[in-house]
Amino acid sequence: MGNRQTWLWPLAAWTVFTAIALWLTHGVIQLDTDSAMRLVQVRDLLHGQSWFDTVQHRMNTPYGLSMHWSRLVDAPLALLMQVSEKFALTAWPLLLFLAALLLLVRIAFVMAGPRAVVTAMALALLCSGLYATFAPGNIDHHGLQLVVMLAALLCVVERRPALGAAAVALGLGVGLESLPYALAAIAFFVFDQEKSRAFGLTLAGMALLMLAATTASVYRFLPACDTYSLFYAVLLVVGGAGLVAISFLPRHRLAALIVLALALLALEAMLNPVCFAGPYAGMDARMRLIFLDRINEARPVWSFFTLAPAQVVGGYLYAVFALAMCALAPPGRTRLAVMVFTAVALLVATFQYRGVNFALLFALPGLAAALVRLTARRSIVWLAAAILVLNGGAFILAGAIVEGQDRVALRAMRFAAQEDCGHEPALAALKALPPGRVAAFVDQGPTILAYTGDAVIAGPYHRGSAGILDSYAIFAGADPRAVLQKRGINYLMTCRAAPDWNFYRDHGGLIAQLAAGQIPAWLTPAGHSGAVELYKVR
């Protein structure tokens, strides 16, 4: 198989995926909460908000919310929106999927040649766990993170220090979920004496460039833990410069690396010791019960299994299986890098399920190479059979059998009803009223901003702890009117299909009254759509 034919396979796989995705959506794009919030951020940029200002002025009304999201995702979306908004919402995730396929092809080719390319493309198309990330309308930062970290893995495989350092810096700039995989890439280049100098020099330069060109003004001089800021820039610059200096040492490099690591830990303690506790450090303790413990993707795998057994089997266990199979791939640097990155992602996913997609993507080239190697002396039929049996879709099907068809169907129905709480048709009654300030469930906040001109109290973001706590006080507290008056709220919105409805109802307060059919005198019904109910606040 020629080199040109090799690169045709990802284009063919991408064409198939695109055709299926467009057919399934029928041209109707539904936004999840993060995608809706990203759309609002890009619109604000296009309407004149400064590149270095990421405050969402209609969130946490009337005070505004300083978001921790990067402008690196906004830039390509803003460019694509010059064609049209719908084009950007459709094209961006599909382009990211094409980039992911091209990177997978290169890694698989290095591992086991042309047959591994075809196998990797088939496995990628059959890995339904990745579909949602690259579906039209999904414009949050996760897709870009996956692609950039996959690029970092390829740079490790091919020993490209400058590009590897750029991928590490960009990944951290997009979002700190990339940090574990960035550290894995750094570790490979740190112990690569021949390449460490170029890596360290590029890393230090990229860190400064990111701070100057892509970081919001407020974070350039603030050592924030939960976004790329002065904190991470200083550590990357010092670490990169340290690697350059160590590369000139003729001996005792390991001791020097240990000293550098200790110096970076001391520097971290000086800059912001709170960051040792993670990006959520310093948050109000009440936020764990009210918000953090209820984020499904942040649950450990054993807790997530109680919610969606089929997803765990088709995602986490499939990634574990793929990692084990990687051990049967041809030995060498590529296999080691693939296994290390996958193992790191699985470790993350064990304690926060959101790491599963990284594990799946990292493991696919290794699984493809292993299947090719195991069937090398047999006909192509054996390889095709192995692909049909050992793919993500087959694991999802096995998980559905474990979970039970009725339970899977019920879960899907509940999830669809929950999603409808924030879709545009559910906001028809609100759109018919003059713009104002809205008290709504946390997950409804971003879609209200995207589809109306109203302002909201809260969204599902840890930075908005004041708004989340006030939302709890409104819907489950003893004196909701005090919070409503303090924030000057005009409308109150609920949704009986949302998890928040049951959560607030079980804690008493306003939602418990509404559930019992008791509407307070200071609320006037103003319309409803399905499970969504709207009230005017007197």
- CB atoms under 10 Å from CB of 134, counted, come to 26
pLDDT at 170: 96
Buried residues in 8-41 as b, exposed as e (16+ CB within 10 A): ebbeebbeebbeebeeeeeeebbbbbbbbbbbbb
The whole-number pLDDT of residue 378 equals 78
pLDDT of residue 8: 87
| Non-local CB neighbours of 45 within 8 Å, separated by 6+ positions | 51, 71, 74, 78
Distance from C-alpha of 44 to C-alpha of 455, rounded to nearest angstrom = 14
CA distance 182 to 174: 12
Residue 247 structure tokens? 């590369």
Contact yes or no for 104/363 (Cβ under 8 A): no
CA 353/CA 143 separation, integer angstroms: 16
**Separation between Cα atoms, residue 91 and residue 349, nearest integer Å:** 29
The pLDDT assigned to 1 comes to 47
> What gap in Å lies between CA 183 and CA 236, rounded to an integer?
11
Separation of alpha carbons 21 and 138, rounded Å: 12
- Tracing tokens 């999927």 back to the chain, one arrives at 97
Q: What single letter denotes the amino acid at residue 365? A: P
Q: What's the pLDDT at 27?
A: 72
Residue 296 vs residues 158, 358, 420, 499: alpha-carbon distances, Å: 36, 17, 18, 11
Place of tokens 């969130």: 59
> Does residue 300 contact residue 377 with C-beta atoms inside 8 Å?
no
pLDDT tens-digit profile, the chain (538 residues): 446 667 788 999 999 999 988 888 777 788 899 999 999 999 999 999 999 999 999 999 999 999 989 899 999 999 999 999 999 999 999 999 999 999 999 999 999 999 999 999 999 999 988 888 999 999 999 999 999 999 999 999 999 999 999 999 999 999 999 999 999 999 999 988 889 999 999 999 999 999 999 999 999 998 998 899 999 999 999 999 999 999 998 888 899 999 999 999 999 999 999 888 877 777 777 888 888 888 888 899 999 998 899 999 999 999 999 999 999 999 999 999 999 999 999 999 999 999 999 999 999 999 999 999 998 877 788 888 888 888 888 898 898 898 888 888 888 888 888 888 888 888 999 999 999 999 999 999 999 999 999 999 999 998 889 999 999 999 999 999 999 999 999 999 999 999 999 999 998 899 999 999 999 999 999 998 888 999 999 8
What does the pLDDT read at residue 283? Answer: 75
